[in-house]
């Protein structure tokens, strides 16, 4: 609990962070990487180049400043961060380094406004957050039964082209042991060595139901668009991996784990490669809840970009109350599966609710680009869907727009 002495200084920081948050975090990352270049092997340098990681950290700092009295708001944010940290192998030894450079960046950016009292308040706040994250991450490592640095050596046993620039890789432990189980919706980190002693790791959702034999991930080749650079790791995987290749892969992590136990309708809404965790959930429901009402809605640029149609076809034979909807931004109309055509235009989740009264009681799960999820969330709220019935998975840094 933040001390009474520090609270006025944190409260006063809210407008300052709104104005200078990205500037502070940009300086923080630059100075930290200059002093500790080895940390570039842990952090996603693609997101650094895009500026997304800086925006994400700024929004997390601001979210704390604006909500530190409200544990119900902060708890799920810290849980998501802890899972992401565990997936890349962050440890308690990293937190003093992060704290030193974050506080120094605040002091440098604010100049004379960074009084000793303000900086003492933020040091207290930082370590309150850090201690919570350290404890949560240690619990995750204990549950996984592996140390933070552990990576499974997995062999690629199958490679399937799922759609244009999207492949799936089936992975089995090279040791011959059975892979760890996971919850549908979780992800793993994949480590690649781009050149000698230069590593990067990325998170990929497990894209099939747990089966006790292998894991499957799905990777979209990220091309350079506008000012966004080419996805280094995704392109490396597309260009270098074949059946028989090995990869270093973390244990499964992630808090986006839709409940499969309920009887209420469930709506899985995705766009682009955000379909991958939804396929894991869909295939799991086909095994565990074949009578549950499911809305599976997916948006893509065009028909060639719709992945995992075979999974949807097979699941549809088992799920007696599955209703699929597809949307193509290109404006084209295409028959994707027998008797199932895609609609031209963009998805509007509110329209789905308006057309089906049962969805007033549904739980909604969203995954895709942030603008897509923001639009669907707004549309669902406008239809009266309670906020606690809307959940989302963010690929990459979260800007926490839903709480700030």
Distance CA 121, CA 245 (A): 50
In the block, tokens 């809307």 appear at 390
Provide the CB-side half-sphere exposure for 197 (13 A, CA): 2
Selection from 326, 337, 306 nearest residue 166 by Cα: 306
Distance CA 120, CA 245 (A): 51
Task: Tell me the torsion sign for CA atoms 121, 126, 128, 129.
Answer: positive
In the block, tokens 């270098």 appear at 240
In the block, tokens 């975090």 appear at 25
Q: Where are the alpha helices (DSSP H) in 241-327?
A: 275-288, 309-318
Cα 178 to Cα 43, 152, 209, 234: the distances in Å are: 29, 11, 15, 26
For the record, the structure tokens of 223 come out as 């091309």
Selection from 335, 339, 310, 334 nearest residue 323 by Cα: 339
Residues, the chain: 404
Active site annotation includes 95:
yes
SS3 377: helix
Distance CA 236, CA 239 (A): 5
For the record, the structure tokens of 381 come out as 């709220």
Distance CA 251, CA 158 (A): 20
Q: Where are the alpha helices (DSSP H) in 225-269?
A: 232-240
In the block, tokens 């309920």 appear at 262
29, 64, 68, 95: the active-site residue: 95
Active site annotation includes 222:
no
Selection from 188, 205, 359 nearest residue 268 by Cα: 359
9, 137, 183, 204: the active-site residue: 137
196 CB contacts (<8 Å, ≥6 apart)? none
Is there a contact between 233 and 46 (Cβ–Cβ < 8 Å)?
yes
Is there a contact between 261 and 192 (Cβ–Cβ < 8 Å)?
no
Name the helix (H) or strand (E) containing 300. strand 294-300
Q: Which residues are catalytic?
A: 95, 137
């Amino acid at each position: 609990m933040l001390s009474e002495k520090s609270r006025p200084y944190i409260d006063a920081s809210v407008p300052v962070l709104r104005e200078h948050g990205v500037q502070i975090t940009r300086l923080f990352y630059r100075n930290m990487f200059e002093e500790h270049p080895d940390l570039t092997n842990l952090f996603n340098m693609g997101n650094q180049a895009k500026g997304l990681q800086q925006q994400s950290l700024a929004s997390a700092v601001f979210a704390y400043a604006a909500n530190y009295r409200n544990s119900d708001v902060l708890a799920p944010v810290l849980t998501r961060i802890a899972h992401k940290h565990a997936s890349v192998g962050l440890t308690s030894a990293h937190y003093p380094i992060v704290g030193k450079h974050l506080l120094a960046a605040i002091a440098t950016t604010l100049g004379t406004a960074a009084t000793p009292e303000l900086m003492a308040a933020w040091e207290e706040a930082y370590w309150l957050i850090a201690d919570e994250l350290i404890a949560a991450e240690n619990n995750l490592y204990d549950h996984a039964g592996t140390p933070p640095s552990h990576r499974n050596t997995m062999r690629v046993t199958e490679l399937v082209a799922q759609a244009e620039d999207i492949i799936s890789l089936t992975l089995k432990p090279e040791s011959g042991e059975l892979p760890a189980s996971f919850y549908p919706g979780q992800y793993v980190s994949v480590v690649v060595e781009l050149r000698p002693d230069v590593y990067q790791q990325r998170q990929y959702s497990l894209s099939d139901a747990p089966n006790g034999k292998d894991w499957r991930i799905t990777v979209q080749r990220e091309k350079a668009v506008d000012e966004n650079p080419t996805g280094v790791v995704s392109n490396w995987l597309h260009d270098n991996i074949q059946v028989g290749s090995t990869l270093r892969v973390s244990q499964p992590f992630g808090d986006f784990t839709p409940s499969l136990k309920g009887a209420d309708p469930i709506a899985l809404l995705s766009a682009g490669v955000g379909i991958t965790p939804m396929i894991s959930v869909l295939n799991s429901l086909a095994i565990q809840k074949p009578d549950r009402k499911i809305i599976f809605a997916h948006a893509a640029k065009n028909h060639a970009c719709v992945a995992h149609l075979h999974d949807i076809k097979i699941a549809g034979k088992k799920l007696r109350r599955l209703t699929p909807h597809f949307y193509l931004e290109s404006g084209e109309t295409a028959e994707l599966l027998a008797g199932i055509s895609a609609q031209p235009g963009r998805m509007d989740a509110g329209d789905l609710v308006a057309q089906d009264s049962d969805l007033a009681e549904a739980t909604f799960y969203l995954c895709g680009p942030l603008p897509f999820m923001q639009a669907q969330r707004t549309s669902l709220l406008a239809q009266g869907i309670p906020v606690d019935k809307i959940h989302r998975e963010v690929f990459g840094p979260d800007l926490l727009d839903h709480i700030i």
